[in-house]
Chain A
């Protein structure tokens, strides 16, 4: 099965900072990678699909890039409401795998 390694596991940044999270796949998954935001006590919310496509209604400060085995998720200017845990998810195989998550906090 495909493994996805997400880093860092936690991150603290200031409002207005540019924040980057990475996901590394154990084999080539083309662009079959998605990103979610999960706030405490809530269900995950889809932000980015197919590596770089912004889900409808998601603010443009969120973006994704990458293909093959290396992927990046970026918040261009961190806002207080972005405090959450972020997950990547691959779907190259028939068996879906999520990354371990990155907990994002405000300094």
Chain B
């Protein structure tokens, strides 16, 4: 069974880059049956998909965030990462990493990390 754990700074300054890592246990991140994704949730609000990436480099992102989002996979550490540039207070949210059991399209998210709160403030 997969387990996911987000890590990263809890606070980022406006205009800087938010960087988070998701550590995967229970399977290899190079497994051919998963997309690795990020979803966020501003305090008291709903869920917003940020993007998903496949170990062979295929990546899809929310059009509203695409210009600021970079995702990558580190096979040696069994981790995948999110970078969100030029952050503002609107990027304050709980950030979740999650998996999609598919090698072709992003369908649903079956395993989730517990989430990590990132606050954007000076």
Binding site for B on A (CB under 8 A): 1, 32, 34, 36, 38, 42-46, 49-50, 55, 87, 89, 91, 94-101
Q: With A49-B108, A91-B107, A91-B108 in contact, is A44–B47 under 8 Å at CB?
A: yes
Contact count A vs B, C-beta below 8 Å: 58
**Total contacting residues, chain B, CB less than 8 A:** 21
Q: Report Cα–Cα, A1/B61, bound state, in Å.
A: 13
Q: In the complex, what residues of B have CB within 8 A of residue A87's CB?
A: 46-47
Which residue in A42, A89, A94, A97 is a CB contact (below 8 Å) of B108?
A89
Q: With A43-B96, A43-B112, A43-B115 in contact, is A94–B46 under 8 Å at CB?
A: no
Q: Report Cα–Cα, A98/B52, bound state, in Å.
A: 15
* Per-residue A-contact encoding for B87-122, CB less than 8 Å = 1, 0 else: 000000000101000000111111011110000000
Taking chain A's interface residues, is the majority helix, strand, or loop, or is none over half, making it mixed?
Answer: loop
State whether A95 touches B46 (Cβ < 8 A). Answer: no
Q: In the complex, what residues of A have CB within 8 A of residue B48's CB?
A: 98
Q: In the complex, what residues of B have CB within 8 A of residue A50's CB?
A: 107-108
Q: In the complex, what residues of A have CB within 8 A of residue B112's CB?
A: 43-45
Q: Report Cα–Cα, A46/B112, bound state, in Å.
A: 9
State whether B105 touches A91 (Cβ < 8 A). Answer: yes
Residue of A nearest to B96 (CB): A43
Residue of B nearest to A42 (CB): B114
State whether A95 touches B60 (Cβ < 8 A). Answer: yes
Does B78 reach chain A (CB closer than 8 Å)? Answer: no
Q: Report Cα–Cα, A87/B113, bound state, in Å.
A: 17
Q: In the complex, what residues of B have CB within 8 A of residue A95's CB?
A: 49, 60, 62-63
Q: In the complex, what residues of B have CB within 8 A of residue A34's CB?
A: 107-108
Closest Cβ of chain B to A6, distance in Å, is: 9
State whether B107 touches A1 (Cβ < 8 A). Answer: no
State whether A55 touches B60 (Cβ < 8 A). Answer: no
Given contacts A46-B110, A49-B108, A49-B110, 8 further A-B contacts (CB under 8 A): A36-B109, A89-B108, A94-B60, A96-B49, A96-B62, A96-B106, A99-B46, A100-B46
Which residue in A44, A49, A97 is a CB contact (below 8 Å) of B107?
A49
